[in-house]
Structure 1
Amino acid sequence: MNLKHAAERLPNRLARLKSAVSFETVFITAFVTLVFFTGGAAAQAPTGGTGGATTGWETILDNLYNVLYITLQYVGLTVLVLGFIVWLTARNNSQRSETGMKLTMGGGAMVVAYFGLGALVSLLEFIAG
């Protein structure tokens, strides 16, 4: 077998490999691997006889709230600053100026939503005791 013949066969092998590896194949492989490695531990019932305790749910929801609250804060401030930078550096480009203005208004709205959400949660905590 000469070098030219081997080089001609290489694209055919790569084409067959590309057709064998698809999104569905990767997804199914990842899912089966995840199921295999996690085993049955994820589906076990809680022990301890607490019945309908909500302590676990409260912790999960509190952590989710904290993640969303901090994300809202940092994304809002980032978009606000990015919007100012784009808006102030637009010069004679009206499309870029409009994009910067929209980013600035969106970032400002996110910052206002961040403080408003904090005030709303504080009010609800005060009412709940």
Structure 2
Amino acid sequence: MGDIFWYALPLPTNMSDQDVKVVGAEISDVPPGVEVVGYGAYHLDDTEGIPLLYTDKDPNGPKFRELKDYSKGFNVKAKAVSDFVYVAQLRITGKVQKNPTECRYGYRQGGKLYKQPLRCSFELRLKK
């Protein structure tokens, strides 16, 4: 317990004909036993791809604390996949028996703010 994990949320994809500005993301249904410490958004070039799940102890994983954080907002062009990935920093606080299944992105398009729910799931189980 107390271990820190970094989990990549689904990569933002803009299916519309207009650019969007992503302004936030979160796991909607954080299970008991998991605490969200924070969120960050990082350029894929800096993380060397999509960092699905890492611990702070992984010597080969991205050093998120040292990377530039773009979570205040980044653009995704029309009909394109983002060059940025949102990552949740999670701390294990107890027995984890349930997987989260939903995330939510906030974005601006055409002067309006939208919230988009997405399916996202991961499994964390700690061995004794």
- Give the TM-score range, shorter chain: under 0.3
Larger Rg: 1
Q: TM-score, normalised by structure 2?
A: 0.20
Which has a greater percent of strand?
Answer: 2
Which has a greater percent of helix?
Answer: 1
Q: TM-score, normalised by structure 1?
A: 0.20
